[in-house]
Structure formats: C-alpha cells, structure tokens
C-alpha cells in the first residue's frame, strides 16, 4: 500500500514544480488553471523536478509521511482485494497532488517567516551602506534596463545590481545580501510584482533615491485585476522616492500620465517617439545588429551607437544614459559603454547553427510589447525564411483576445511564419500554425529550416527543447 502512495507522490513532482514556477502564489496558480483548465492538477504534466529548496524538501517530506500514514491506516483493513488496490493506485495519483497542495499551504507561514528574516537582514545592511539605490520597475524591460544602468554607471563608479531576475521583495533582499559590498557607490535594484503592495515593500528595503518606470502594459493583468491596479502597483516605487529624488519615466506607453501624478519629486521623461520628452532619441540608422541614434537631454545633444537589436533597446538605454549624465559621467565614457554592451542571453541574443540557420533567442520573457519588438526586429533581418515560435502569453486575463488580435495585426504584411502551442493565438489570424506539443514543433521545424533562414524563439520553452533546437 505504501508503495502505491509513494509512486503517487513521485508522480506529483511536476505538480510541485508547477506551483514553484507560479511562486506558490495563489492568484498565479488560479490564473494558470483558468488558462489551461484543470490539466495541471488532474492530468499528466511533463516530468520536471522542482528546485532543491528548503521549502520543496519540507513539502515532500511532510507529504510523504502523510501518505505513508494514510497507507498504514488503510492497510489495517485486511479485507482489501485486488480491485480496491487498483482503485487506490489510480486515486493515489490524484490524492497525492491534493496532499502536496495542502502541504504547500501549510508551509506558507514558515516561508513567510524566512522571507521576513531575509528582508530584515537586508534592510539593516542598506542602512549601513553609503550606496545610492536606484529602483527599476515596469510591465516590461525591467531586467534589460537594470543591466544597462549598472553597466553604464560602472564606467565611473563601483556599482552593484540585483541578482539575475530576482525582483520580488525577497528577491530584492537576497540581491542586497549577496551583492551589496562595502565599496559600492550605486546599487540598481529590479522590482516586480503580481499584485499591489509588493513593490512598496521592496522599496522600503532599499529606500531608493532614484527610480525608473520602464513602461506600463497588461502583463500579469489577470493577477492584478485591472490596468488601474497595475499603474498603482508600479507607481509604488515612485511614491517611495524622497522629495530630493528623481523619477525617470517612459512616456511611450499608456497610463504614464497617471503615474506622473504619484510623483512628489523631480521627474525626467524619456521617449523615442515623443519630441516633448525631457530625454529624446531619434533613430538615424539601423540594421539587424546595430543602431545609431541622436540623443537630446536639455542642452546636451550627441549621438550614440549600440550593437543591441531592436528599437525597444534604445528606449531601455535612455534612462541609463540620463542617470549617468545626471551623476556627472562624461559623454565619451557613456559612448564607450554603449558600444560594448552586448545582447543579454535570452533577450534577442543571436547564434548561428552549423547548418546555417540563425537562431535569435528571445526566450527570457514574453509580453505584448516584447512580442511586438521581436516582430519589429525580424522585419529587418535579410533572411530567406523567417519563423517565430511561441507558447503564447500568460496571465493576460480578459485582454488576452484583444492582445492576440493586436499581435496578428503586427504580423500582417510581413513574411513571418508563426508556430504556436497556444490554440487561441492560432485562431486569431492567418500565417499562424498550431502545434500540440514541443515534440510536434521540433518535427515541423526540422522539415522547413534551411541555411540562411531565421528562427526567433519568443518566450520560454523546456531546457530539452532549447538544447535540441540549437543543434541541426
């Protein structure tokens, strides 16, 4: 009996992995179940092992002991026949998932206490630091903007930054504990959220002197509930600034005017389309791997060159340039920094396979703005065939259909072929082909990709898929 339940627990590892990917946050879990139905809970998921974290280990131990106890109690009934054992075997598959879910809920108080302990330690470290803290938030472009700011400031100052994409309140705390060294003069902290209140808590840890709002969109709309809530949540960083602070705000997005209302300090707006912005960039020349643009900030007018693909990356560079100028860094140093910044892995980074197929990896994130930027980049590639693959965009809520219709309108008039595992996206327009799985997608691509073709990977796929797609 215990063997049956142990096998049931083993089969629930992908379910625990699913909960982990959703940050154990009930709104994200509910959103995922709404999009995928009850498949993650009651059907087979790809076998993936969750991280070896203290919480996951604790969940598995408690779940295992609970199932063993249940099996022992049931074994006391010596009259159980083979038919009942078969029924128990099937039911254990589903029951183990319920036990894991309940155990995750029961371990939340312990996880909360650990988070609070880390936050308290990080807050104490910040108070003893002389570093100037810069917060970066937005619906998209956070990680790239954070990296660019840190890279440019590092040309003159000792600069620290958040760990990878650690942008929750505990992620901010962990980044401080790992990377805030005594000699740091500046520290750039990325801040994300799925609901209101999170960014306010993150800001209370580092007490930023400067903030960047990279843009406002409908990313995670389903967990926020409304666009108004998104704007309010992202603006928590702006409200946290002191009166002598500075807020750098992208005005190439809807909702920025409302965000400006939350500022009680100096504001610097930036744009690549609105000439009235304080910081403005005009594109002079571009190709698939370089962009030249004119830059204006107050009385400062100059030109920059970057080897980053996509107009969105010019937009993401602007706050870093403006902050550097405000902190007294010479233009020549900034120009040198920009010319040396390479695409970040998974953010339109490019490699060419041995068979001549160029792979553009944009798998790091997937938002409406990110998808549009990827299409924009693909348009200027001189490839024979252009193919984009995606699993769709999650947590768009009630705006999912309209967002997909916007994406398909961006594809009209292009020679880009799209493959997706998202049936709803495939139903929204011509030139989009539905495939049921990664395996089917690999098979389809192997039949059409040739030397000189371009394949852009938009959004995350499994490690095994990425390994296979990067070899002929």
Residue 325 in domain: yes
Instruction: Give the single-character DSSP code of 307.
Output: -
* Domain containing residue 379: CATH number: 3.90.190.20
Say how many domains are in the chain.
Answer: 3
If asked whether residues 222 and 272 sit together in one domain, one would say: yes
pLDDT at 66 over 60: yes
Domain boundary among 308, 340, 372: 340
Contact 390, 422 (CB under 8 A): yes
For residue 164, what pLDDT is reported?
A: 86
Residue 118 in domain: no
Q: Residues 265-316: pLDDT tens digits?
A: 999 999 999 999 999 999 999 987 889 999 999 999 999 999 998 899 999 9
Q: Residues 385-430: pLDDT tens digits?
A: 999 999 998 888 888 889 999 888 888 888 899 999 999 999 987 7
Domain boundary among 320, 340, 360: 340
Torsion 352-358-361-362 (CA) sign: positive
Strand order of the sheet with strand 358-362?
A: 349-352, 358-362, 454-458, 386-390, 416-420, 432-434
If asked whether residues 138 and 101 sit together in one domain, one would say: no
Domain boundary among 315, 340, 365: 340
For residue 446, what pLDDT is reported?
A: 92
If asked whether residues 326 and 354 sit together in one domain, one would say: no
For residue 52, what pLDDT is reported?
A: 83
Host domain of residue 37: 2-106
Q: Residues 330-357: pLDDT tens digits?
A: 999 999 999 999 888 898 999 999 999 9
Name 137's Cβ contacts closer than 8 Å, sequence gap at least 6.
Answer: 190, 191, 192, 193, 199, 211, 212, 213, 214, 234, 237
Q: Which residue has the higher pLDDT, 244 or 18?
A: 244
Q: Residues 186-227: pLDDT tens digits?
A: 999 999 998 999 999 999 999 999 999 999 998 888 888 899
Among residues 435, 425, 437, the alpha carbon closest in space to that of 465 is found at: 437
If asked whether residues 284 and 150 sit together in one domain, one would say: yes
For residue 158, what pLDDT is reported?
A: 98
Mean pLDDT of 61-82: 69
Residue 113 in domain: no
For residue 450, what pLDDT is reported?
A: 92
If asked whether residues 21 and 131 sit together in one domain, one would say: no
For residue 288, what pLDDT is reported?
A: 78
Rounded to the nearest integer, the mean pLDDT of the chain is 89
Residue 184 in domain: yes
Under the banding of pLDDT at 50, 70 and 90, the label for residue 9 is low
Residue 309 in domain: yes
* Domain containing residue 139: CATH number: 3.40.1190.10
Torsion angles phi and psi, residue 377, rounded to 5 = -65, -40
If asked whether residues 189 and 149 sit together in one domain, one would say: yes
If asked whether residues 218 and 299 sit together in one domain, one would say: yes
**DSSP-derived 3-state class of residue 362:** strand
Residue 116 in domain: no
DSSP code per residue over 317-350: HHHHHHHHHHTT--HHHHHHHHHHPPPPTTSSEE
If asked whether residues 12 and 56 sit together in one domain, one would say: yes
Q: Residues 422-461: pLDDT tens digits?
A: 999 999 877 899 999 999 999 999 999 999 999 999 999 9
If asked whether residues 319 and 384 sit together in one domain, one would say: no
Q: Considering the entire predicted model, what is its pTM?
A: 0.87
If asked whether residues 133 and 98 sit together in one domain, one would say: no
If asked whether residues 96 and 200 sit together in one domain, one would say: no
| Tokens 């809920």, residue located | 105
Q: Residues 356-377: pLDDT tens digits?
A: 999 999 998 888 888 888 999 9
For residue 38, what pLDDT is reported?
A: 66
Under the banding of pLDDT at 50, 70 and 90, the label for residue 86 is low
Tell me how far apart the terminal alpha carbons of the chain are, to the nearest angstrom: 47
Residue 115 in domain: no
If asked whether residues 400 and 279 sit together in one domain, one would say: no
Rounded-to-10 torsion of CA 149, 150, 155, 160: 150
Q: Residues 105-144: pLDDT tens digits?
A: 999 999 999 999 999 999 999 999 999 999 999 999 999 9
Residue 62 in domain: yes
């Amino acid at each position: 009996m215990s063997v049956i339940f142990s096998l049931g627990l083993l089969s629930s590892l992908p379910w625990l992995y699913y909960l982990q990917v959703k940050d154990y946050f009930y709104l994200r879990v509910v959103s995922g179940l709404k999009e995928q139905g009850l498949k993650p809970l009651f059907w087979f998921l790809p076998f993936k092992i969750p991280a070896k974290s203290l919480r996951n280990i604790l969940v598995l131990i408690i779940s295992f002991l609970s199932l063993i106890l249940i099996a022992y109690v049931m074994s006391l009934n010596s009259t159980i026949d083979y038919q009942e054992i078969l029924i128990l075997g099937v039911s254990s598959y589903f029951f183990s998932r319920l036990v894991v879910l309940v155990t995750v809920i029961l371990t939340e108080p312990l996880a909360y206490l650990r988070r609070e302990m880390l936050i308290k330690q990080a807050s104490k470290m910040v108070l003893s630091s002389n570093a100037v803290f810069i917060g970066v938030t937005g619906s998209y472009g956070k990680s790239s903007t954070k990296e660019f700011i840190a890279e440019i400031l590092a040309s003159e100052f000792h600069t620290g930054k958040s760990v990878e994409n650690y942008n929750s309140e505990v992620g901010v705390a962990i980044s401080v504990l790992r990377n805030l060294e005594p000699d740091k003069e500046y520290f750039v902290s990325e801040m994300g959220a799925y609901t209101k209140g999170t960014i306010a808590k993150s800001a209370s840890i580092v007490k930023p002197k400067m903030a960047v709002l990279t843009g406002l969109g409908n990313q995670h709309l389903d967990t926020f509930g409304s666009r108004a809530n998104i704007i309010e949540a992202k603006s928590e960083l702006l409200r946290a600034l002191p009166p002598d602070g500075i807020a750098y705000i992208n005005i190439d997005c809807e909702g920025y005017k409302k965000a400006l209302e939350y500022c009680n300090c100096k504001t610097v707006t930036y744009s690549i389309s609105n000439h009235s912005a304080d910081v403005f960039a005009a594109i002079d020349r571009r190709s698939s791997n370089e962009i030249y643009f004119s830059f204006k900030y107050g009385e400062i007018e100059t030109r920059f060159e970057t080897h980053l693909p996509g107009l969105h990356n010019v937009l993401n560079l602007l706050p870093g340039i403006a902050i550097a100028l405000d902190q007294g860094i010479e233009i020549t140093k900034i120009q040198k920094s920009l010319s040396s910044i390479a695409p970040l892995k998974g953010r339109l980074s490019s490699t060419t396979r041995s068979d001549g197929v160029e792979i553009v990896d944009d798998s790091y994130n997937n938002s409406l703005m990110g998808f549009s930027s990827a299409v924009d980049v693909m348009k200027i590639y001189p490839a024979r065939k252009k193919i984009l693959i995606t699993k769709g965009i999650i947590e768009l809520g009630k705006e999912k259909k309209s967002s997909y219709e916007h994406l398909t309108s961006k594809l009209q008039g292009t020679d880009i072929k799209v493959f997706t595992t998202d049936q709803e996206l495939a139903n929204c327009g011509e030139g989009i082909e539905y495939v049921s799985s990664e395996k089917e997608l690999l098979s389809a691509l192997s039949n059409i990709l040739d030397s000189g073709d371009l394949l852009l990977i938009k959004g995350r796929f499994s490690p095994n898929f990425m390994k296979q797609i990067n070899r002929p």
